[in-house]
Chains A and B, each alone.
Chain A
Amino acid sequence: GQNIDQPTEMTATEGAIVQINCTYQTSGFNGLFWYQQHAGEAPTFLSYNVLDGLEEKGRFSSFLSRSKGYSYLLLKELQMKDSASYLCAVLDSNYQLIWGAGTKLIIKP
């Protein structure tokens, strides 16, 4: 079966750095997405990785290792508004998105 694993919840301090991991086992791979979802709101796109390596976008970076079936989302200089759930999703060989359950990130002052 297809599976995506992420930690259920993480806590970090304002101004710090946090890394959210995602491991996946899917039938094929055509890219990995990270979405942010604030409570009660719709998911919004953060990043997309299809090749190994690090993609940086402002305070957010996303890393991919296809051989290890592993990705992480790195958030720097954390702000209170970063409190949200972070969803990892993999595009499989049929170009269907397989979603992880999400990681709820709690930022403390």
Chain B
Amino acid sequence: NAGVTQTPKFRVLKTGQSMTLLCAQDMNHEYMYWYRQDPGMGLRLIHYSVGEGTTAKGEVPDGYNVSRLKKQNFLLGLESAAPSQTSVYFCASTTLGDSSGGANVLTFGAGSRLTVL
């Protein structure tokens, strides 16, 4: 049981280049998320998905696009990378909590460190 797997783990881009980060989970989770983590700041939600074929914007969606064509995969794309997108990106997934207040605990991937020069 691998949990949440992110690829690649490290990437260096030049300004204007494009790339895709792949997130794969094998826990049959409905919800998937892409966050970025920057020094001195909390995790910030970029985009999320509540199910196959659906995506929604989070707190900081500009400059990113996502797709969820299969339930187990959530892709994050950067069409034209900018130095401000230098960050560590985390994918996370969870399943629905119960109505009595069960915690929707997030399972995170190991992170993808992206540097844009």
- Using CB atoms and an 8 Å cutoff, list the residues of chain A in contact with chain B: 4, 8, 30-31, 33, 35, 40-45, 48, 50, 87, 89, 91, 95-102
* Chain B interface residues toward A at CB < 8 A: 40-45, 58, 90, 101, 103-106, 108-111
Known A31-B101, A98-B42, A100-B42; contact A41-B110, beta-carbon cutoff 8 A: yes
Q: Check if A42 sits within 8 Å of B108, measured CB to CB.
A: yes
Q: A99 to B90, alpha carbons, bound, how many Å?
A: 14
30 contacts between A and B (CB under 8 A): A4-B42, A8-B40, A31-B103, A35-B106, A40-B111, A41-B110, A42-B90, A42-B108, A42-B110, A43-B43, A43-B106, A44-B108, A45-B105, A45-B106, A48-B105, A50-B103, A87-B42, A89-B42, A89-B43, A95-B104, A96-B45, A96-B58, A97-B43, A99-B42, A99-B44, A100-B42, A101-B40, A101-B41, A101-B42, A102-B42
User: With a CB–CB cut-off of 8 A, which chain A residues contact B44?
Assistant: 99
A-B pairs, 10 with minimum CB distance: A99-B42, A48-B103, A42-B108, A99-B43, A45-B105, A101-B42, A50-B101, A100-B42, A43-B108, A42-B110
Chain A residues, CB < 8 A from B104: 91, 95
| Bound: A48/B94 CA distance, A | 14
Assess the A97–B45 pair: CB atoms within 8 A. Answer: yes
| Bound complex: CA A89 to CA B44 (Å) | 11
User: Which of B58, B105, B109 is within 8 Å of A42, CB to CB?
Assistant: B109
| Distance in angstroms between the alpha carbons of A30 and B40 in the assembled complex | 25
**What is the CA–CA distance of A96 and B101 in the complex, to the nearest angstrom?**
14
Q: A17 CA to B87 CA in the complex, in Å?
A: 33
Q: How far apart sit A48 and B104, CA to CA, in the bound complex (Å)?
A: 9
CB-nearest residue of chain A to B88: A40
Chain A positions within 8 Å of B109 at CB level: 42
Q: A45 — which chain B residues lie within 8 A by C-beta?
A: 103, 105-106
Contacts of A99 in B (CB 8 A): 42-44
In the complex, besides A99-B43, A101-B42, 10 extra interface pairs with C-beta distance below 8 angstroms are: A4-B42, A33-B103, A35-B106, A43-B90, A43-B106, A87-B42, A87-B43, A89-B42, A89-B43, A101-B41
